[in-house]
Every structure is written in C-alpha cells, then in structure tokens.
Structure 1
Amino acid sequence: MIRRILSFVLLAWILGFAWFALLLPQPADISKTDAVVVLTGGPNRIDRGLEILKAGQSRKMLISGVDRDVKPRELSAQYEGSSRYFACCIDLGFQSVDTRSNALETARWAKRNKVRTLRLITHDWHMRRARFELDRALADDIIVTNDAVASQPSLNALFKEYNKYWLRAVASLLGI
C-alpha cells in the first residue's frame, strides 16, 4: 500500500514537471493595463516593461527587486530613450530580495497607486511561482495579466523552479 502511494506521488510529480517544463507561460498581447510590474533578475524583463510604456499601454511601472546601490539615472542610462519614462512613470522598488517579497512590495505599490489592472513581467520559467505569490499578496479586485519573457531555461533551472513552486504551495497550505 505504501509503495503504491509513493509510486502515485512520484508519477504525479513527474507529470507535473512535464507540464511545468513543456507548457511555459507565453508573452501577452499588448493590451492596456493601469500598471506594469517588472521583477528584476534576468535579461529583457525591463526592456519588455519599457516597450509597454512606450506603446502607451500602461501609465506606471514598478521595477521590483532593485539593488539599493542602483540610482535611477544609472539605470535609465542603460536603456536608450527611457530617461523620460524614468522621470515620470517608473518607480524603483528597493525592498524586495526574493519572489515572495516582490509580491508584497508590488501589493503595497499597487494599493498606493490605486491600480486595478496589472501586467506582471518576468521570465517564462519564473511566471508561475511569481504569479502564485502575487495572487496571495494582492487585493482580490486587481486583475493581473501574465506577460512572460521567453527564455531558454536549462533543465536544471526548470527542476529547481518547479520544486520551489511546490515548496511554496505546501508552505502556504501550512500557513507559512
């Protein structure tokens, strides 16, 4: 009986991993939202957020998880033609250090800015866990659109992220 239960759990984990790895979230269409949140930690994320602002599809952007030593002027210098957006429309979030604290920082920012619709930008392999944390932190009336930046994650990166996702799901069930 125990062997059957363990076999079932292992099979469920393997099938879940296949779903996780093969059906990564995709980029969203450019539809209007009140705001964009970009989680730092990988290439092309901020570029995607700036693309949304430049297209006039959002009015505000939060870059969450910015290192405390980064200055807005230094960051804007890395993105050609973005200084005007850094002056008016982009907030830098210095409070978060991981995905969970990104979600908490985003929830506080969204409340302060009266955001009702939000576009979440992160890499495809990170989107499910980021969205899980964000859904737990945000008010229920905020509509979130996933906008995954396509990448080529290694099998090792997918394996780690899948396990982090399930560990957070179990921890949240336990109230942690």
Structure 2
Amino acid sequence: MSEIAGMSAKADSQRRRGRLLLRMGIAALATCAFAFVLGLILFLDHVADLEAPPELQAADGIVVLTGGQSRIDTGLHLLKAGKGKRLLISGVNPMARRDDLRLATGGDRNLFNCCIDIDRVALNTIGNAEESAKWASANTYGSIIVVTNNYHMPRSLLEMRRILPEADLQPYPVVNTPLSGSAWLANPDALRVLVIEYTKYVAALARGLVSTSHPEPILHDVHVEDMSTVVRK
C-alpha cells in the first residue's frame, strides 16, 4: 500500500508540475502577445506622424531605397534641389536597360549621367544598408539623406545605423497614404502592410539583440553602376 500511495503522490506531483508549467507557458504567451500589440500600437502611432521635414539640411549624399511608390521621384527632386552631391538608388533590377529608369521617372539625362549611382546587388533592407555603406565609404560621405516610405523608415534607419554608426542619417519619409488620426484603421490594405512591416522591425531588433557583433561593410567592392538598371521591388 505504501508503494501504491507513493506512486499516486508522485503522479499527483507531476500533474501539479505540468499544470504549473502550462499556466506559466500561457502567461508567457499572453505577456508576449500583449507586448507585441502594445509595440504595434506605438509603432503605428510613430509611423503615422512621420512626414517630410519642412526644412532639410543639405547632406553629402542621398540614398533612395526602392520598393515603394514615389521614392525615386522624391530622391530626384532632392538632388535637383541641391540637397546632396550624388544620389544612390539601392535595390534595382539588374536585367533592365540603361535608360529604363530615366524614362520611367522622366528624369533629365544629364543629371542621370553626372550624379546618380545604381545599386544592383541589394535584395532587401539589410542589403540596402550594406550597399549604402559601401557607397558612402567610397565617396567619403559622412551625412546621408535616407528616402523611403514612412512605414519603412524605422527599419531602414535601424539597419543603416548598425553599419554606419558614425554617419549623420537624415530621414526623409515618403507618405503615399495619410495615416494620421488613426486613418489606418479604416484602410485594411494599409493596416496589413503596417503589421507586416512592424513584424519585420521586431525581427530586426531581435537579430540585433542576439548578435554578438555588428556586421561590417565590405569597403573594397562597391557594386554601383550609373543608370544601368530599373527598380526591382
């Protein structure tokens, strides 16, 4: 009987331990979910307030991260206004012809030939940051205006500051869909894009936390070409 009682007590102890672990797991999941949702609300509020600065200090160079409407047009406008010496368009299709991008944007041929560089290597935001760092180093640029959509700006700056910690990065967000006043709640497509982008931003933050060292730009091999490609993304 004592042996049976001991086995029963052990089984009860294991059940209690299992229930405790289950409650702890549920609590941990609930905490993570709450933190994720709270972070998403803060992210949405921050992105909704991003807009092009009324006064923009001139920088050494301008970098446009391709992938969204009006980004390249905005970069060209800033270059024409003398806000940078050169413009890098990062993340461009290597299969396109030389004049495709100029024709697509209606850009001036002389401006394209003299002052615009093309990165054909970057496939994502991390690649954009790496190729931008190579370009900035090759031109000895210490200040850069970063042009991308408002929802993409937090992650873009996060990745670029990891590789260019000493550079002065000035954000110039492009706003295609107004999000102020919680307008994103009434726009399912915008909300979907924002949730996906926030998830990528959290993943980028987590990658930085677990990484033991920051990635270093490869400065001896600069993959930029003068107007030989068109936007990939």
Same fold judged by TM-score > 0.5?
yes
Q: How far does the alpha carbon of each residue in 1:4-27 deviate from its partner, in whole angstroms, 9 at most, with x for none?
A: 444333222111101111221322
Counterparts of 2:135 and 2:166 in 1: how far apart (Å)?
Answer: 15
2:194 corresponds to which of 151, 154, 158: 158
Structure having the higher helix fraction is: 2
Count residues with an aligned counterpart.
175
For 1:25-174, what aligned pairs fall within 5 Å after superposition? 25-28=50-53, 29-138=55-164, 140-152=165-177, 154-174=190-210
Q: 1 CA distance for matches of 2:106 and 2:69?
A: 15
Could you tell me which of 2, 14, 25 is aligned with 2:37? 14
More moved, 107-116 vs 146-155 = 146-155
The Cα of 1:169 is off from its aligned counterpart by: 1.2
How much has 1:154 moved relative to structure 2? 1.2
Residue identity matched to 2:199: N
Change (3 A) 1:170 1:14: same
Structure 1 segments of 4 or more deviating over 3 A?
A: 3-8
Cα RMSD (Å): 1.7
Distance in 2 between the 1:27 and 1:132 partners?
Answer: 18
TM-score, normalised with respect to structure 1: 0.92
Contact map agreement 2:69 2:176 (CA 8 A) in 1: no
The letter of the residue matching 1:174 is V
Q: Secondary structure at the match of 2:127?
A: helix
Aligned partners of 2:150 and 2:166: how far apart in 1? 25
One-letter identity of the residue aligned with 1:19: L
- For 1:62 and 1:136, the matched residues in 2 are separated by 19
Instruction: Name the CA distance, whole Å, in 2 between partners of 1:171 and 1:84.
Output: 42
Answer yes or no: is the 8 Å Cα contact 1:60–1:90 preserved in 2: yes
With the length of structure 2 as denominator, give the TM-score of the two structures. Answer: 0.70
Matched residues in 1 for 2:38 and 2:138: separation?
41
Identity %: 32
Partner letter of residue 161 of structure 1? E
Bigger-Rg structure (1/2): 2
Distance 1:41 1:116 in 2: 25
In structure 2, stretches of 5+ residues that fail to align are 1-22, 178-188, 213-233
Task: Give the deviation of 1:69 after TM superposition.
Answer: 1.4
Q: State the alpha-carbon separation in 2 of the partners of residues 175 and 141 from structure 1.
A: 20
